[in-house]
Amino acid sequence: MTPKNYLFEMIRSELAWAVGDDHVQTNEADRLGHSIDYYWVPECWHDRGQKPTPPDFVVHPGSAREVAEVLKIANTHKIPVIPWGGGSGSQGGALPIYGGIVLDMKRMNKVLEIDPVSMTVTAEVGINTQHLEWQVEKAGYSTMHFPASIACATLGGFIAHRGTGVLSTKYGKIEDMIMSLEVVTPTGEIINTLPVPRHASGPALTELYLGSEGTLGVVTKAVMKIHPVPESRKFHAFLFKTMHDAMTAGARIMTSRLRPCVIRLYDEPETAKLIKRVLGIDRKGAYLVFGFDGPEKIVDLELEEACKICRAQEHEDLGTEAGQTWWDHRYKFFYPPYMFHLPQAFGTLDTVATFANIEKVYWAMKNVVQDNFPQATFIGHFSHWYDWGCMLYARFIIDEPPQDPGEAVALYNRIWDMAIRAAIREGGVINEHHGVGLKLGRIMRDLYGPAFKVLEDIKRTLDPNNIMNPGKMGFPGKGA
């Protein structure tokens, strides 16, 4: 479709009627902005002078009803609809790979209610999560949702990709924080899931939409838990001779059922590279930091118990200051020039597994990358710890990938294919909080096995015209 085509103007007019003329963009600057998200492939494409596919229309709906109208128009014309929050997803989930309508949700940005009795906030999901946190803080509470992308992403983006924040070990991932959702189905009905997340009234419909990446409908409103601001939050850091020693200590903290709000463990290469560069802590070994929050007396007790566990291993005690420094600079890792950047090739192979498997996953991925791609550096850290395991935030970096964009992307995909399949063989699940998007769609059949057909059947039933974000999550592309 081109702006010169009269069908283009017919559809634009319909969309403008639905949401208002001011909220339908077709200009090139906006379309360029929506042709690239935080996925390395379109970034590389642009960097090498190519033009990633832009949407035909960028639509900013102002209500669930307007979303419903847009979806009905899209069904009539069988045009793809790609929901877009902050655009900071790393998996290509928001890319308009077939053109169509990008449904930019940021106009739906209101906090509708803060319920101090039940400790919940109700908000439209286009709200930027830093803005949401600021508004909740003004009322005297906190969402306790502090992802690195807090300033970039929207609440809907986190819901779509099962995102998480740095305090997930105590406060949970987004799926633990959400109470209920309002959703517009692909055919334009507005529905609400049950108001509480614990019940025995059939399968959890809320769960169906958490992580659905805009393929099963458009989430428009969410009720989310909020928390009192803790009286105290304290950190402590240790350095261990090996990653295995640090992992043993971290796992013991979790399996002893202490309740840290955060644990993070950096392998030896990442400690040498990033901890030195960002925090200025120049040591050999594996850096482990953890924190507790809540009433100060409880924090002190739990912190001391966790320190005792660490001191049982061979260690260097870096103290509270090195822990606090990490917390104070926790977002700095993600700003340029500290973050990896083009022309480098880089990817995050985030994987979650049980404590029994997580180190096997780490070594399987590392060996595959090092043995097959000598030009790549493999580093990793372990974040988002649970009672039963944790997440490996593994990364590969190639400083000088091929100049040709096709060759660069092919190399990038080969690394993913081999590393991820190695992780799956060792019991890893891809992935923990970035989502699937375009990047990992081809892995979904391997990951789910025969169960993927269940997801495909749900998709086909809910979205008969396959308008919702086609080609993502391993679901069929446009025209398939």
Partner 1 sequence: MHIENHLDVINACRFCFMCRHLDPVGNVTFREADTPRGRALVADRIRMDRAELANADFIDAFYRSALSAANRFHCVSHYDETGLALAARRDIVEAGLAPERVKALARALEKAVFAVTGKGQTLYFGGTPALYPGCKVITGGDPGKALEILGFADAAKNVLARFSKAVAASKCKTLVVAEPSSYDFLKDRLPGVKVVHCAEFLLPSAVKTRRTRKAVYLESDILRNYCGNPSAPRQLLQKAGFTLVPFGTNDEESHAVGEGAVVYDALNPELSDKLCARVYALAADVGKALFITASASVRDTLRKHNPKFDIATLEEALSS
CB of 135 to partner 1, least distance (A): 5
Residues 134-163 that bind partner 1 (CB under 8 A): 134-135, 137-138, 149, 151-153
| Among 128, 164, 193, 357, contact with partner 1 (rule: CB under 8 A) | 128
Residues 425-454 that bind partner 1 (CB under 8 A): none
CB of 117 to partner 1, least distance (A): 22
CB of 39 to partner 1, least distance (A): 10
CA atoms of 104 and 442, how far apart (whole Å): 26
User: For residue 308, which of 234, 258, 362 has the smallest C-alpha distance?
Assistant: 258
* Nearest to partner 1 of 128, 215 (CB atom): 128
Binding part of the chain for partner 1, among 38-46, 191-199, 235-243, 469-477 by CB under 8 A, reads 38-46
CB of 301 to partner 1, least distance (A): 34
CB of 142 to partner 1, least distance (A): 13
CA atoms of 8 and 152, how far apart (whole Å): 31
CA distances from 410 to 44, 176, 221, 362, 405 (A): 12, 37, 39, 23, 8
| Among 109, 242, 248, 413, contact with partner 1 (rule: CB under 8 A) | 109
> In the sheet that 24-25 helps form, which strands lie side by side, from edge to edge?
24-25, 57-59, 101-104, 81-84
| Among 11, 19, 36, 224, contact with partner 1 (rule: CB under 8 A) | 36
Residues 339-358 that bind partner 1 (CB under 8 A): 339, 341-342
* Nearest to partner 1 of 126, 437 (CB atom): 126
CB of 140 to partner 1, least distance (A): 12
| Among 65, 77, 131, 241, contact with partner 1 (rule: CB under 8 A) | 131
CB of 201 to partner 1, least distance (A): 37
Q: Is-contact 241 268, C-beta < 8 A?
A: no
Residues 186-245 that bind partner 1 (CB under 8 A): none
CA distances from 349 to 86, 212, 362, 397, 409 (A): 22, 20, 10, 11, 16
Binding part of the chain for partner 1, among 161-169, 296-304, 327-335, 472-480 by CB under 8 A, reads 327-335
- Torsion over CA: 89, 93, 98, 104 (sign): negative
| Among 227, 330, 332, 478, contact with partner 1 (rule: CB under 8 A) | 332
Cis bond before residue 337 (omega within 30° of 0):
yes
25 forms part of the interface with partner 1 (CB under 8 A): yes
Hey, what long-range contacts does 470-473 have (CB within 8 A, 24 or more apart)? 470/80, 470/98, 471/97, 471/98, 471/438, 471/441, 472/92, 472/93, 472/213, 472/214, 472/215, 472/436, 472/437, 472/438, 472/441, 473/93, 473/212, 473/213, 473/215, 473/436, 473/437, 473/441, 473/444
The β-bridge relationship of strands 262-266 and 227-228 is: unpaired
Q: Which residues bind partner 1 (CB under 8 A)?
A: 25, 27-30, 32-34, 36, 38, 43, 46, 49, 58, 60, 86-88, 104, 106-107, 109, 126, 128, 130-131, 134-135, 137-138, 149, 151-153, 331-332, 334-339, 341-342
